[in-house]
A and B are shown apart, each in its own frame.
Chain A
Amino acid sequence: MILHGIGASAGIGIGHAVCLREQNLDYTGVVFSGKEEEKKRLQTAVDTFCFRTQAMADDLQQRIGEKESEILTGQIMMLNDPFMISQMQEAIDGGSVAEAAVDHVCTLYADMFAGMEDELMRQRSADVQDIRTRMLGILLGEEAVDLSTLPAGSVLIAHDLTPSMTVGLKREKIAAILTETGGKTSHSAILARALEVPAVLSIPDVLSAIADGAVVIADGSAGEIIVDPDFCTINAYEEKRKAFLEERAQLSLYRDRKTADADGNPYALYANIGTPAEAEAAQAAGAEGIGLFRTEFLFMDRSTMPSEEEQTAAYLEVSEQMAGKEVIIRTLDIGGDKAVPYLQMGAEDNPFLGYRAIRYCLDHSEIFQIQLRALLRAGAKYRNIKIMLPLITSVEEVRAAKALLAACKKQLADEGIAFDDGMQVGVMIETPAAVMIADWLAREVDFFSIGTNDLTQYVMAVDRGNARVEKLYTAFHPAVLRSIRSVIQAAKRAGIPVGMCGEAAADPGLIPLLLSFGLDEFSVSASSVLQTRKLIAGWHAADAAAVTEKAMNLSTAEETERYLQAVHQKEEQH
């Protein structure tokens, strides 16, 4: 039987299923033993809860970090809330057993939080539910499965992993984690990746589909589960598992190395991120900077504009995390496929050719200036932030944006607010127009970054979301490769650095070309950093130049891709 979910932590896990089913928390058989006695039982349970939770928090803080443990110390404070306790005591005065009092009051608060507008507050509902379940468990003597005593090779299956459940986990005993809920950014996913345990999440009804003790293969990269596999399948996956672990061990050798080709020529290797939290992952993955910080997350999934303070805090968080390293922040790139309801941009027939990114921002300087002010302010402390303007097609756009930036600097100076006066400004090269006038753009800015995802789409005139034409979407097309080459040459002639922040920067087949074109900086997803560093280290400049010469003489995308992939495969075998 094969099941599918979201691959949230890469790797292969093979082992026996351990199902964490809901405990039996039915308290209808509990007999009321008097107000005083019930209150005493309640107090004892509260004390036990606090004692255990504090121990878990201490343990978690030591092993994983302060932030994780704050969820648990928060739970202690919530349960000790004078209101919550007194409401439980009132329920007991009214004739309820301690279990019913806990159940009633916790459910009341959980419902209240669940109904709130604020996302952060809605998450508190899960905390109150966790308190309820564990308090009832303590009162009824129904203890949860002790995860610290699991046998080796356990495939942990749960509806969801709660913060309290994960505390006793020993990674060497856990082959994989499977859950019915959660996505790539859920608590379970973050924990699994931190522990380097393969995880597949959001598998519908996995608890009822798999029996305790069944043999399970989990492929955390593909998001696939195989239950009761035959012998051949187990062997095949065992091989895959070994290969994965070997590769991970091999790649980890590159974590603390500088990025350079086989001749020692240095290159910058940065990471692309979408939220401040990802900066930590980028740092851990060995990135030497942030080559693209998308700021859309600040504006999406909410009903009002983020304030200058809120934006400053988010940019500063990344700046601080990466202190001493560059952080390139892209200004708001909404429109196209990323709509923001409260900005009321309206539907368009051709959103990718329409009113988006810099076009919208220059028309709405009141919104754009808040972001520019926040960027200037956030850069004051560590001076490592650079501004990148998206979807540039003309010199006028760059000049207009720089004029607004100058106005913001003047305002901040007049107001006596600290900011980075020397903040560099660059443009994203992602339109054919920008490619054609790259030499003129280079005179206006401090750096270029080639956005290959959009550039490929605009050069090829193909909608990458349209299945009928998507095969035309390829960075191996000579038109795309020539565009990239000419942009890099224009930057070199002007003496400004040039980076690349699209998926092409991590494509093994394209790396020799990018090296020999003279790209200065590769910006890739955090998970591709080590792989890319290894690939770069494998190339001698002369070999890369020879491959580039040959590739650039092929006239079709198909031939070019086939040739470059064959070259990569030959390299791999070395």
Chain B
Amino acid sequence: MVSKTVQVINPMGMHMRPAQLFIKTITPFACDVTILANGQEINAKSIMNLMAACIKQGTEIEIQCNGADEEAALKAAVELVESGLGE
């Protein structure tokens, strides 16, 4: 398993549009993707869980990837969050 902690920088946090983009980006990877934030463990391939976690701007999140293509998945996910989730 690989993991990295990043900060959510886009102003509105993980609302509908950024969550859509996040899911679209990581769905092609076969590995499991989990986000640890606000004391919760979130299945990052579920848009419902992702939105329900209410991740706001400034929140530190830990992205964990576990599976065959974990390195590539983590890289893509971290880059996306650091670039402001398309906002």
Contact = CB atoms under 8 A, between A and B. Distances in A.
9 contacts: A74-B47, A77-B20, A77-B47, A78-B47, A78-B48, A120-B16, A121-B15, A124-B16, A309-B11
B6 to A, nearest CB: 16
Interface string A72-102: 0110011001111000000000000000000
Interface string A96-118: 00000000000001001100111
Interface of A is mostly: helix
A186 interface: no
Task: Give the size category of A's interface with B.
Answer: 20 to 34
Interface string B33-57: 0000000000101111101101011
The 8 closest A-B pairs by CB, nearest first: A310-B11, A83-B46, A120-B15, A313-B11, A81-B48, A81-B46, A74-B16, A77-B47
A213 B45 CA distance: 48
A83 B48 contact: yes
B46 A309 contact: no
Interface string A311-328: 001000000000000000
Interface of B: 9, 11-13, 15-17, 20, 23, 43, 45-49, 51-52, 54, 56-58, 87
Contacts of B47: 74, 77-78, 81
B16 A116 contact: no
Contacts of A307: 11, 57-58
Interface of B is mostly: loop
Nearest to B12: A120
Contact of A118 (B23, B54, B87): B54
Contacts of B16: 70-71, 74, 120, 124
A313 B49 contact: no
A82 B13 CA distance: 22
A83 B43 contact: yes
Given A83-B43, A117-B54, A118-B54, A313 B87 contact: yes
Contact of B20 (A70, A116, A310): A70
A275 to B, nearest CB: 14
A124 B45 CA distance: 18
Contacts of A70: 16-17, 20
A309 B57 contact: yes
Given A77-B23, A120-B12, A310 B52 contact: no
Interface centre among B17, B46, B56, B57 (most CB of A within 10 A): B46
B11 to A, nearest CB: 4
A394 B12 CA distance: 38
Contacts of A78: 47-48
A121 B48 contact: no
Contact of B51 (A73, A82, A121, A313): A121
Contacts of B45: 82
A120 B20 CA distance: 14
A117 B38 CA distance: 15
Contacts of B12: 120, 310
Interface centre among A71, A113, A121 (most CB of B within 10 A): A121
Given A82-B43, A113-B51, 20 more contacts: A73-B20, A74-B17, A74-B47, A78-B48, A82-B45, A82-B46, A83-B46, A112-B52, A116-B52, A118-B15, A118-B54, A120-B12, A120-B16, A121-B15, A121-B54, A124-B16, A309-B9, A310-B11, A313-B11, A313-B87
A112 B43 CA distance: 17
Interface centre among B15, B47, B87 (most CB of A within 10 A): B47
Contacts of A74: 16-17, 20, 47
Nearest to B16: A74
B12 to A, nearest CB: 7
Nearest to B43: A83
A113 B52 contact: yes
A307 B46 CA distance: 29
Contact of A109 (B20, B48, B56): B48
Nearest to A116: B54
A84 B15 contact: no
B52 to A, nearest CB: 6
Nearest to A85: B46
A313 B47 CA distance: 25
A538 B26 CA distance: 60
A116 B52 CA distance: 8
B27 to A, nearest CB: 10
Contacts of A310: 11-12, 57
